[in-house]
Structure 1
Amino acid sequence: MTPLARARHQLKAHPLALDASLAAGVLLCMLAGSFVDPHGEQSVSWSIRSPDPLSLLLMTFSAVALVFRRSASMTVLALTGAASVVESVTGDPRAPVAMSAVVALFTVAAATDRPTTVRAGLLTMTVLTGAAMLAGPLPWYAQENLGILAWTGIGATAGDAVRSRRAAVQAIRDRAERAERTREEEARRRVAEERLRIARDLHDVVAHHIALVNVQAGVAAHVMDKRPDQAKEALAHVREASRSALNELRATVGLLRQSGDPEAPTEPAPGLDRLDELVGTFRSAGLQVEVARPDHGAELPAAVGLAAYRVVQEALTNIQKHAGPAAKAEVSVVRVGPNIEVTVLDDGRPADEESPPAGGGHGLLGMRERVTALRGTLTTGPRHGGGFRVHAILPVRTRARTAAPRTAEDLV
């Protein structure tokens, strides 16, 4: 830090000392000006006249008042203005006391707003100049009187310019702080969204296969002694489901690697073209599933196909876990106008029986988030007479920002 910058920093840290130094400088200038005779034979004469005691008292009083110009700017302006009026009326007007009023007016203009500056400046110029012109010993057109008018105007204008510059700098700082806070909030929001997305993707990928593993493992344990062939078949399904879970989990976790990783998975995201394969895994686990899909060959956007696939997957997984071993499921995928409607029904536990245990619901929440992200609607609830219904309406044409959501499957 340079000596000048260090001194400026110390003065800003001690404003009262700065004001005291300024007051001392103004007092010295007023004293020097009071000894000068601009109308003498020489250009400057120091010994021809000296200020009277009243002028010295007024100059000292107005200089001391400037020490408190920051804490009571309007009061200081009134005091220094009154001292200047007294000096203009009673003394030989050389305008040394008016210098303190100019400094006080500058402080008011720099510390207040523009309307206050205009009112204070006009009042100060009118009172000081009017008193000098009307009650002073010099003619009204004397240059000393015009000097008072000019210097008060300069003080008000300079103070307003300083205030405007400070306001502009503060506005720039405020905008920078708001931009920084906005960036931090946006970063936190993106982190939260990414955390929820990863949680939803992991749930969609793992829950389905783990539910199948659980069912097939239970079947194998039940028939191990009496029907070993059926137990081997169940264990084979367990092995296949676990392998699929590992593959999809590897695809999801691979996105957490650095971009450009050559080992990142490249398998395309699942869609309704793999619906038969999905239903087959549930049928192999013992769930009776019927599929109705009139437009089997219709092509859908990747985001829509993925959302529909996950809705069916999660709904069938919930049926497998909660609807009972004898439940039957119906899956319907129908194109209706600009939308595609996905409906999954089951005839499991009646509606008045015990509901699924508390603590679940992440699958339904994930389905709703996926459907809502595509501007669709999701309706879930128990059916009259027993069972459960999941109904999703997905627009086939989605907005550009939602047509390719940043999910794990979309990027692999």
Structure 2
Amino acid sequence: MPVTTFQRARRYAKTHPLALDAALAAGVLLCMLAGSFLEPHDPQGASWGLRTPDPLSLVLMTLGAAALVLRRRAPRTVLAVTSAFSLTESVTGDPRAPVAMSAVIALYTVAATTDRPTTWRVGLLTMTVLTGTAMAAGPLPWYAQENLALFAWTGIGATAGDAVRSRRAFVQAIRERAERAERTREEEARRRVAEERLRIARDLHDVVAHHIALVNVQAGVAAHVMDRRPDQAKEALSHVREASRTALGELRATVGLLRQSGDPEAPTEPAPGLDRLDDLANTFRSAGLTVEVARADQDTDLPAAVDLAAYRIIQEALTNVQKHAGPGARAEVSIVRVGPHIEITVLDDGAGGRDHEPAPGGGHGLLGMRERVTALRGTLTTGPRYGGGFRVHAILPVQTRTSASPAASADAAGGP
């Protein structure tokens, strides 16, 4: 966009305020000089005439205009100096000389650079002193139009300066509000990105850890019996292939969430839930882990987030049993509906005292469970069982803030 002459002038004025004030002082001096040489009431009957101002008036006008060069650096001092020149002119010189114009500009500057109460006090004081002195001690009658004009111009200067200050403050407030809103949006965007990264990492861990654990077990079985029982090794390799195929499918579904909306290659398969619990238990049974499932949830229709969290908690708990409980371990999974909550418990009778908690640089299974439960405002309890084994107990709300299905409401009321 081309820069116009006006824009260049504004830019120069902002970067060189002293030059702007010097130009303003020169303009004010020219206006005062023009007013001092003009006679609005010519005695010969003309509308305008010429007159010769007093030398003192010329000196006072020059000094008053020169003082305006420093109006930004010391506005109140400049107002006091120009007001003194105006008082001197109104008492000792020609009261018709417009020396007070410099005082009006100085009063405008004070009003534009200070607060409103100060503007009222300084404006009233300047108006009263200048006008009162001119009326009481000046050579003209108190009701002369020059005195009334002085009263009006000082009031206009104070009002105009206050209006400019108010507008600047309003524009600055809008700018600060916009900048604050922009910072808030950026912080919110960063927070959402961090939460999304954490969610994706948690889902990838749940998918990969479960299936890789099964693949590891089956591959170990196949290697152990490859020479003596090739049929059993073949069956183990078949389980490896099935587990890897399932893992690839779930990874594809998870990675598909990262695709842009409208991508035709993005998968549309729903996230797993408790309706696939039997298939999940069978995958562990095929790996040699004894899993018993007991459900007393009255076929509760769970929200998608709760259903997925319940599935992932059971999946991760059974994966930990597979990895840590040792050979011959048994796992029990129970799902019970208790009022407005659903309780999930996974028990095993593996080696007592083993540590499921992630070591430094280790896994994040229990941490992922806790994050899922906390996000749904539920509770999670994990720890060793008395006499050996481990216990995972999660309590999840049947309804979340964003879902309240009619079926869930009916279950909460006690009816199927």
The alignment's TM-score, normalised by the length of structure 1, stands at: 0.91
Which residue pairs with 2:54 in the alignment?
51
Rounded to whole Å, the distance in 2 between the matches of 1:84 and 1:353 is 91
**Long gaps (5+) in structure 2:** 406-416
- Counterpart of 1:209 (choices 199, 206, 211) is 211
Pairwise CA distance, 1:354: 9.3
Which residue pairs with 2:391 in the alignment?
389
Alignment of 1:58-77 (within 5 A): 58-77=60-79
- Counterpart of 2:287 (choices 278, 285, 288) is 285
Q: Does the residue aligned with 1:256 lie in a helix, a strand or coil? A: coil
Which residue pairs with 1:23 in the alignment?
25
CA contact 2:358–2:365 (8 Å) conserved in 1: no
Pairwise CA distance, 1:184: 1.9
Which residue pairs with 1:112 in the alignment?
114
CA contact 2:324–2:356 (8 Å) conserved in 1: no
Q: Does the residue aligned with 1:335 lie in a helix, a strand or coil? A: strand
Which residue pairs with 1:406 in the alignment?
none
When residues 26 and 391 of structure 1 are mapped into structure 2, their CA distance, relative to the original with a 3 A threshold, is same
Which residue pairs with 1:100 in the alignment?
102
Rounded to whole Å, the distance in 2 between the matches of 1:359 and 1:313 is 22
Rounded to whole Å, the distance in 1 between the matches of 2:374 and 2:295 is 23
The letter for the 2-side match of 1:270 is P
- Counterpart of 2:224 (choices 222, 225, 238) is 222
User: Any runs of at least 4 consecutive aligned residues in structure 1 with deviations exceeding 6 A, and if so which?
Assistant: 352-355
**Long gaps (5+) in structure 1:** 404-412
Rounded to whole Å, the distance in 2 between the matches of 1:77 and 1:347 is 91
The letter for the 2-side match of 1:400 is T
Which residue pairs with 2:350 in the alignment?
348
Pairwise CA distance, 1:29: 1.4
CA RMSD of aligned residues (A): 2.1
CA contact 1:315–1:344 (8 Å) conserved in 2: yes
CA contact 1:95–1:144 (8 Å) conserved in 2: no
Q: Does the residue aligned with 2:296 lie in a helix, a strand or coil? A: coil
CA contact 1:331–1:345 (8 Å) conserved in 2: yes
Pairwise CA distance, 1:296: 6.1
Give the paired residue count. Answer: 401
Which residue pairs with 2:330 in the alignment?
328
Q: Which moved further from structure 2: 217-226 or 239-248? A: 217-226
Q: Deviations over 1:73-109 (max 9, x none)?
A: 1111111111111211211211411100000011111
Q: Does the residue aligned with 1:141 lie in a helix, a strand or coil? A: coil
Higher relative contact order (CA 8 A, sep 6+): 1
Alignment of 1:364-403 (within 5 A): 364-400=366-402
The letter for the 2-side match of 1:19 is D
Rounded to whole Å, the distance in 2 between the matches of 1:291 and 1:325 is 20
CA contact 1:30–1:59 (8 Å) conserved in 2: yes
CA contact 1:62–1:79 (8 Å) conserved in 2: yes
Instruction: Tell me the percent identity.
Output: 79
The letter for the 2-side match of 1:124 is T
When residues 143 and 257 of structure 1 are mapped into structure 2, their CA distance, relative to the original with a 3 A threshold, is same
Which residue pairs with 1:305 in the alignment?
307
The letter for the 2-side match of 1:118 is W
- Counterpart of 2:92 (choices 68, 77, 90) is 90
